[in-house]
Chain A
Amino acid sequence: MPGILVVASALEGTLGRSALELVGGARTLAGPLGSKVSAALVGSGKALAGGPETLHRHGVETVYRCDQQALTAGQSDAALAAVDAVVKAAQPDVVLVGADTVGREVAPRLAYRLMAALATEVMSLAAEGQTILVRRQVYGGRAIATLAITSRPAVISVKPRTLDAPEPAPVPGRVEDVAVSIDPAALPTRVKEVQSQKAEVGLDDAQVVVGGGRGVGGPDGFKLLAQLAASLGGAVGSSRPPADEGWVPITWQIGQTGKSIRPNLYIAVGISGAAQHVAGVSGSRTIVAINKDPEAPIFSLAHLGLVGDYKQIVPALIERINAAKGA
């Protein structure tokens, strides 16, 4: 029976959320393709704990486990070696990889080793007979390309936070430990340092996000936006120019090279609405735009628009929100 292998990464110390998104995507394809879903659980020691159970609970019958000391944060070479070993054991037709920092290096390299068909950064998965159809953003988010994959094996990397996590669908499962020897000293790269600049409320999970653009004018303006975000229990992000200018850390950047987010509420302040940024937020349920320029492209994306100076509007908002909370 053909198989879809999901790469469930535990490199960061625990099973990442992308694993479940991929399982959801795999399950969408499994029915139409007549395939079984399995997972490659890669990590080291304690990071793997609970992983198989979580995967079984969401419908993955076979978990191929790879436990190696070298499988830690940022170690793409080790991850590639581990996934390669699992692929040899599982012989899947399709491999799904999350396009995170490591995944986006692993996917093409795995495709090379397998001479597989490759599609990267996809936002949706569907099947048409035995053809896999994927959609991905191109031209800075201005257009959507639909790719059709007929050959096997196929390696597909999925853009984080674009697929929904699946509903639980417990199945009795088994774990197969895959033997592979990864000598850290023999790897071409060595991870010397891993630095996290985690914000208080993560941009990835926040239900409310306030984003600032070039119109914010400088780092001070972002302090005001942070206050607004805090009053709404949300996170702050930015379009590319503030990150490029150094007004905000690069991890705040939303958009093509930055993150994609899908909060319930996205408030864009001083953001013109260039395609690249829009691509990162277009999945938001409600978009509010605050901008001095009534002709700014962001207003053709936003649901609610406020034309004016954010330096006057945002304090007024913060005041009213805090008043309503106090009441």
Chain B
Amino acid sequence: MNTIVCLKQVVDPELPQWDFAIDPATKRQVRTGKPLVISTYDENALELALQLKDKAGGKVTALTIGPAGEVKDAIRLALAMGADEAVVVDDATAPVLLGADKAAILAAAVKRIGTYDLVLTGCESADWVERSVAPFLAEALGAACVTFVTKLDPGQGSVTARRTSEEGFHVIEARLPAVMSVTSDESIRPRLPKVKDIMGAMRKPVQNWVRSDVAAEAVSSPVEVREVSVPQRTTKCEFLDGEPAQQAQALIEKLQSLKLI
């Protein structure tokens, strides 16, 4: 089972609120000088791909689009975790591209990589949260599509996936090749990259392409980002103090007066 995992680097979503700012010029989060990490669910996708490789063998290829200098560390980490090779599409505009543009470039890159059974990516990116890359990719590649996957079982020419639904889960059998997006689950804990594998990682093959090496075809019509704003919170919290018994009493009375209970 050969898997391509699409990784995106984002500004660390765990940054404290006071360190979060939008750059009015780009209408995106201020990126300069901020720590960059692999987008949360993309890490899960990589982990699931590695678990699949542990179970069923095959090759794992890490694929990313970004300014080459920025994504270097993320790729090294992915290789140290166990990916066999990496492809980087060097594109300085990557941080402001929306899902549709990313999907177009990824589709072209996947086609150029050639042999694969499965393409995995995170169910949503930690920053723009569009949830559109996997479905777009599936259409562009003519592959089956399953999103929000938590478990994968390889079959003959197919893969059985567990998809998270609003009430529980679905079990879906998908023909290969397939594009799937991965969400979080107790069984998907991204493995720590081993320091002892880092030297080996430095020697694994990394292909560096530029945007013009991949003939990306648009997957949709463009949309304009008018504005990105940080909502100001206006609620002032009323604290109910005292011993737990007093607090409980005060809360009950407050809620009753608000006719909430």
Contacts and interface: CB of A to CB of B under 8 A. Distances in A.
A contacts B directly in the complex (CB < 8 Å)? yes
A133 interface: yes
Interface in A267-319: 275, 285-289, 297, 299-309, 312-313, 316-317, 319
Q: Main SS of chain A's interface residues?
A: mixed
A317 B175 contact: no
B230 A197 contact: no
A196 B221 contact: no
Interface string A121-148: 1000000000001001111101111111
A69 interface: no
Interface of A: 73-74, 76-77, 99-101, 104-109, 111-113, 115-121, 133, 136-140, 142-151, 154, 160, 188-198, 204, 208, 232, 240, 243-246, 249-251, 256-257, 259, 264-265, 275, 285-289, 297, 299-309, 312-313, 316-317, 319-321, 324
Interface in B106-150: 123-124, 126-132, 135-136, 138-140, 143-148, 150
A305 B238 contact: yes
14 contacts: A74-B172, A105-B145, A112-B219, A116-B220, A138-B228, A189-B173, A191-B170, A193-B170, A265-B260, A302-B235, A304-B237, A316-B248, A320-B249, A324-B256
A288 B251 contact: yes
Interface string B4-45: 000000000100010010100001010000000000000000
Contacts of B227: 145-146
Interface of B: 13, 17, 20, 22, 27, 29, 99-100, 123-124, 126-132, 135-136, 138-140, 143-148, 150, 160, 163-175, 178, 183-186, 218-231, 233, 235, 237-241, 244-245, 247-249, 251-252, 254-256, 258, 260-261
Contacts of A188: 143-145, 174-175, 178
Contact residues of B: prevailing secondary structure? mixed
A21 to B, nearest CB: 14
A139 B127 contact: yes
B172 A192 contact: yes
Listed residue (A138, A299, A308) with the most chain B CB atoms within 10 angstroms of its CB: A138
